[in-house]
Amino acid sequence: MKIYTKTGDDGTTGLFGGGRVRKDDLRVETYGTVDELNAILGVARAAGQDAALDAILGELQHDLFVVGADLATPLRPEGDKPWVQRLPEGAIQRLEQHIDRCDGELPPLKNFILPGGTAQAAHLHHARTVCRRAERLVVGLQESAALTPSVLPWINRLSDLLFVLGRWANHRAEAPEILWAPRGAGESSDVV
């Protein structure tokens, strides 16, 4: 299979379920942002050594691939082709289980924290911000297109998980979190 097809030279791209749209179409922007998020998780995985965290991130990458394909495949009244994957039942609950388990190991959060700490934690905080952008795009896309109902809550929950995983990565690496301190409220941020 060739990497280049030249079919996009006119500024359009093919949707996974068929049909072509402009490359700046909101649907393409949305699933492209999900792809960007998946790539950032790949960077986060490369930056860490923790096997438990790596397993969670690997699972999320696979799920993000399905979500991207889901977003790239318009829902059809007659139903999907057999090869089309949608977000599986129980995907939201899996995220919540990860959140509860990881957050249960963390000290209570009493202040805002700055993104950072270890390289892996910083990448996870970056992933969280891209996830929030994807969420905003899904909200906009669902105004004009029918989407799998679980996609929006899944992405919302994923951003929560990425925040917890950023903290968890620092905690497991014994790296301190940097508290946010408003300017003028003190000399510098405290580290916890």
What are the tens digits of pLDDT across the range 83-116?
A: 678 888 899 999 999 999 999 999 999 899 999 9
DSSP category for residue 23: T
Query: Would 60 be classed as within a structural domain?
Result: yes
Query: Would 186 be classed as within a structural domain?
Result: no
Phi, psi of 61 (to 5 degrees): -60, -40
Q: Roughly how many angstroms between the first and final C-alpha of the chain, as a whole number?
A: 52
Domain that holds residue 166: 15-179
Query: Would 169 be classed as within a structural domain?
Result: yes
Our count of domains for the chain comes to 1
Query: Would 9 be classed as within a structural domain?
Result: no
Query: Would 64 be classed as within a structural domain?
Result: yes
> Which one has a higher pLDDT value, 117 or 8?
117
Burial of 3 (0-12, 13-18, 19+ CB in 10 A): exposed
* CA–CA gap between residue 80 and residue 160 (Å, rounded): 30
Can you give the pTM of this predicted structure?
0.88
